[in-house]
Amino acid sequence: MNKLVLAVPSKGRLEELTREAFAKVGMKIMRPQGVRSYAGNLQGFDDVIVRFLPAGEIARELIHGTIDIGITGEDLIHESLENGAAAVIFAQKLGFGNADVVVGVPDAWIDVKHMRDLSDVASDFRAKHGRWLRVATKYIHLTRKFFADNGIAEYRIVQSVGATEAAPATGAADLIVDITSTGATLKANGLRILDDGVMLKSEANLIISRTANWNDEKNQILQKILLKIGAEIKEI
Amino acid sequence: MLEQAKRRADLGALIVEKGALLINPPMLLAANPFFDLAGEELGRRLLLTTGNNDVEYCLRPEFTLPIAKEFLLAKEKNQHGAAFGYLGPIFRQRAEGPVEFTQLGLEILGKADADAALEKVFDFAIKAIEIYDFKPKIRLGSVAIFEALLANVDIPDVWRPRIRHRFGQPEAMARLLERLADPHGTKAGAIPWKKDELILAISDQMLAASLSLTGSRSPEEIANRYFEKQELAASNVPEKTLKTLKQYLAVKGDALAMLNLVEKSAFDYGLDISAPIKRLITHVKLLQQKHNIKDIEFDASFSPRLDYYTGIVFQMIITGNVAASGGEYDRLLQRLGSDKPLNASGCSIWIDRLEEEKAK
């Protein structure tokens, strides 16, 4: 099978903006069976299959190579697997879906402005409270790496699936790591982003799977698409 | 294959010879105690699975914790201490995926004579490595010397535990010492608040955000650290202290020469840290004379990252790789629920590495 599989976010703003971005460069993404369908095609590209998938699913499948290329957020690649980024190529930033993965602490922590403050707090915490400092997040891999890079070892992650920003108020955690585009949700929950607490600036990317089954024909189709999008990748 | 089996049998005999009880903790263990003891650092390397009761389990990542727990369960029986040996598989996540290792080890817990216990641990590790016909190079560190130094230097008390926590993490330590030399970002000056007013203002802000005043950092704790930051900006940590710490952490080389040097400099600086230095020197001499080990290095900045290590720590190295590591961790049993610190020392030996090197 020598068709190229392109995965597109299946719903919401991400889907709309992806379609717009592709339409702008003359590639129309078609969803002939309607919004409930997961299959589509790319007008004028007979050898491309379009699959509509949730953004998180696209990240996972790119890493595992079950789809060839796809549009999803950079943060989701990092979060799906510890070394997920090694399995893909970020071919082109698409200028939408911008959001930052950030460290947010209660605004009332007036003594904590930087990661170095947090490292002091983490260090003292156990002796004062008899437990580790707790960080609520779904970005486990990113958090571990960022905290380790900042020399913070004395904390525990509390896995959070939704409404992470509520964790300090419910007592589930002391601070959070979460994704935010405007910071408004954090602010509404009495949280503040540390001055050097931006772990990742993410946006929607056209991403190529390194682990997919590549051959000359598929590579040629890919090059055609990349040319239209304005990205240049020679080696996969 | 046959030779490998024979050597492993010899390892088992070595445990018995040391008067230790061969123990085999379960392979499947609750994950939470490991997270509680070692935090996310070890956590990321666990092989985890979630039970249908929503409890997280892991495959045994090391032996010390389950053995120490076992020891505490039979506290009455073990009131004069006990020695345990183990030989079996452990499981860790590596960058390239999960790996099974074979580990041999000794744990001597709750024995009154800490020196005799440590000497037994050294002897055990060296003999185990000798079964593979290697003579190790030994790298020594001392948590005790560093803690004594830190207790003796002139520095505001709040910084002692924070510096202690960075011991064994050279990069984080360097950054912290740099920051103390130049607490940029904080401006000295009149604080526009009285402390009790500030505590009230913080309380109001926390309540407005529906934060508990007692569940996490308290308003008082936040205010205290806020003031402490301002004070630090107003008066730096003495330059002499930072220089002493940096100089000490850079010490590395032939153990006897370096330890004598440290002892002499400490004396010149008027710092009373000779007891832990003398103790380590005694062990170095034992290693040289009794075990005939020539290559012994003291590295002042070397320590496992875990904060329950207390006294002397070591690694044994063959052909550039760590084959054994261990030391003293008198705070471990206390962390696991003992009402007082108890002597503990032990080591673990990476059998796969020895077998690989032997096969070369």
Residue of B nearest to A149 (CA): B172
Residues A231 and A124 sit within 8 Å (Cβ to Cβ): no
Contact A174 B205 (CB under 8 A): no
Indicate if the pLDDT at residue B305 is higher than 60: yes
Give the number of other CB atoms < 10 A from CB of residue B2. 6
Highest mean pLDDT out of A192-206, B160-174, B221-235: A192-206
Separation of first and last alpha carbons in chain B = 14
Indicate if the pLDDT at residue A126 is higher than 60: yes
Least CB–CB distance from B169: residue in A116, A151, A189 = A151
Chain A residues touching B221 at Cβ < 8 A = 128
Contact B95 A82 (CB under 8 A): yes
Least CB–CB distance from A124: residue in B39, B162, B219 = B162
pLDDT at B261: 96
Calculate the alpha carbon distances from A176 to A145, A179, A199 in Å: 15, 10, 12
Calculate the alpha carbon distances from B332 to A163, A180, B65, B76, B125 in Å: 36, 40, 9, 18, 21
pLDDT at B235: 66
Contact B217 A123 (CB under 8 A): no
Q: Give tens-digit pLDDT for A154-199.
A: 899 999 988 899 999 999 999 999 999 888 999 999 999 999 999 9
pLDDT at A231: 82
Indicate if the pLDDT at residue A115 is higher than 60: yes
Domains of chain B (ranges, CATH numbers): 1-115+125-133+348-360 (3.30.930.10), 135-182+238-318 (3.30.930.10), 195-234 (no CATH)
Helix (H) or strand (E) holding A60: helix A55-64
| Burial of B161 per CB tally in 10 Å (0-12, 13-18, 19+) | middle
Q: Summarize the confidence of residues B33-48 as an average pLDDT.
A: 89
pTM: 0.85
Q: Summarize the confidence of residues B181-203 as an average pLDDT.
A: 75
Of residues B252 and B228, more confidence is placed in: B252
Least CB–CB distance from B206: residue in A106, A114, A147 = A106
**Which among A63, A123, A134, A176 is the top mutation candidate for probing chain B, defined by the most B β-carbons within 10 Å of its own β-carbon?**
A123
Edge-to-edge strand ranges of the sheet holding A175-180: A155-159, A133-137, A175-180, A99-106, A191-202
Chain A residues touching B206 at Cβ < 8 A = 106, 108, 190
Closest approach of A151 to chain B, Cα-based (Å): 5
Residues A135 and A177 sit within 8 Å (Cβ to Cβ): yes
Contact B212 A171 (CB under 8 A): yes
Q: Give tens-digit pLDDT for B308-325.
A: 999 999 999 999 999 999
Q: Summarize the confidence of residues A15-43 as an average pLDDT.
A: 91
Of residues A34 and B261, more confidence is placed in: B261
Indicate if the pLDDT at residue B46 is higher than 80: yes
pLDDT at A234: 67
Indicate if the pLDDT at residue B54 is higher than 90: no
Q: What is chain B's percent helix, strand, coil content, to nearest 5? A: 45, 20, 35
Taking each helix axis from N to C terminus, what angle separates B274-289 and B255-268, rounded to the nearest 10 degrees?
A: 160
pLDDT at B115: 97
Which percentage of chain A shows pLDDT scores above 70? 98
Helix (H) or strand (E) holding A93: strand A88-93
Q: Summarize the confidence of residues B79-97 as an average pLDDT.
A: 93
Lowest mean per-residue pLDDT among A148-162, B231-245, B250-264: B231-245
pLDDT at B132: 96
Q: Give tens-digit pLDDT for B100-149.
A: 999 999 999 999 999 999 999 999 999 999 999 999 999 999 999 999 99
φ, ψ (nearest 5 deg) of residue B211: -90, 140
Q: Which two tokens stand for residue B238?
A: 């003495």
Residue of A nearest to B159 (CA): A120
Indicate if the pLDDT at residue A63 is higher than 60: yes
ipTM exceeds 0.90 = no
Residue of B nearest to A143 (CA): B40
Give the number of other CB atoms < 10 A from CB of residue A171. 14
Considering chain B, what is the average pLDDT of its residues? 92
* pLDDT confidence band for B39 (50 / 70 / 90): confident
Least CB–CB distance from B208: residue in A124, A154, A190 = A190
pLDDT at B234: 67
Residues B131 and B355 sit within 8 Å (Cβ to Cβ): no
Q: Summarize the confidence of residues B168-175 as an average pLDDT.
A: 90
CA A97 – CA B351 distance, rounded (Å)? 50
Listed in sequence order, the residues at least 6 apart from B192 whose beta carbon sits closer than 8 Å to its beta carbon are none
Indicate if the pLDDT at residue B183 is higher than 70: no
Calculate the alpha carbon distances from B186 to A123, A205, B172 in Å: 20, 39, 20
Lowest mean per-residue pLDDT among A78-82, A92-96, A224-228: A78-82
Indicate if the pLDDT at residue B190 is higher than 70: no
Question: DSSP states of B194-230 as a string?
Answer: -HHHHHHHHHHHHHHTT--TTTSS-HHHHHHHHHHHH
The half-sphere exposure of B346 on its side-chain side, counting CA atoms within 13 A, is 30
Domains of chain A (ranges, CATH numbers): 4-97+203-229 (3.40.190.10), 99-202 (3.40.190.10)
Indicate if the pLDDT at residue B184 is higher than 60: no
